Structure 1
Amino acid sequence: MLIKECKGFELEKEKSNTSEDFFNRSEVTFVENGEEKTLHVLYVRYFDQIFSEFTPYQQDPVIVKEGIEVNFKEIVALVCLLKNPGLRSRKRLYINSKQDFAAYFQDINFNKLPEIILALKQNNGFELRSPLEFIMQPQ
């Protein structure tokens, strides 16, 4: 699978009676079997304020390397896809439970994540051989 892009952004109200401003969207675009797909992860914006509870990151940007800065919302969909490869067949994922959200980050190898991000920014893609490379294995 070729990962092509990761991005994230805060939703804004389109109408005064909607609640978009309580949510963020994270997207990961990838190519599998010659078909380009995008997984859109919609989640409660509050999780951006508490990510230090379930990740080693203390503040945004979460990755700063070689002049590249990456915010938390940019890696959420990528982490979800790594943790649950079955999401490759889905277009959307909605997470409103703190417990469910934190579960996606459990056992992620955060030391290896910059490897993907740098490849995306510098080479316009990252060839993912196995998501297991980015999951901590029991000793």
Structure 2
Amino acid sequence: MLIKECTGYELEKEKSNTSEDFFNRSEVTFIDGSEERTLHVLYVRYFDEFLQELTPFQENPILSQDNLEVNFKDIVALVCLIKNPGLRNRKRLYINSKQEFASYFQDIDFDKLPEIVLAVKQNHKFELRSPLDYIKQSR
């Protein structure tokens, strides 16, 4: 699977009676076989407050190198795809439970994650051979 883009952003209210400003959207664009797909992950913005609980990162930006900044919301969809490769066949994922959100971050190898994210931000591509390479294996 070729990862082409990882990005995230805060939703803003389009109408005064909507609740979009309580959510973030994270997207990962990838090529699976010969087909380009994008997984959109919509999650409650409040979950960003658990950055230190879920990851070894202390604050946003979580990575900063060569004028590139990566925020937590930029990696959420990528982490979901790594943790559950079956999401390749879905377009959207909605997460409104802290427990479900946290489950995607369990056992992720955060030491290896920057190599994917920085390669995607710099070169617009990263060959993800096996998602298992980015999940800590119990011994």
- Shorter-chain TM-score tier: over 0.9
What percent of counterpart residues are identical?
73
The separation in 1 between residues aligned to 2:122 and 2:34, in whole angstroms, is: 22
1:22-54 per-residue CA deviation (whole Å, 9 max, x = no partner) reads 000000000011100000000000011122111
Query: Pairwise mapping of residues 1-139 of structure 1 onto structure 2 (< 5 A)?
Result: 1-139=1-139
Amino acid at match of 1:41: V
Secondary structure, counterpart of 2:5 in structure 1: strand
Give the ranges of 4+ consecutive aligned residues of structure 1 lying more than 3 Å apart after TM superposition.
Answer: none
SS in 1 for 2:61: coil
> Number of residue pairs matched?
139
Letter in 1 for 2:9: F
- Is there any run of 5+ residues in structure 2 with no aligned partner, and where? none
Letter in 2 for 1:24: N
TM-score (structure 2 length as normaliser): 0.97
Residue 124 of structure 1: how far off its partner (Å)? 1.5
In structure 1, list runs of 5 or more residues that go unmatched. none
Deviations 1:66-120 (A, max 9, x none): 4321000000000000000000000000000000000000000001011001211
Instruction: Say which is worse superposed, 91-100 or 57-66, in terms of deviation.
Output: 57-66
TM-score, normalised relative to structure 1: 0.97
Aligned-pair RMSD on alpha carbons?
0.8
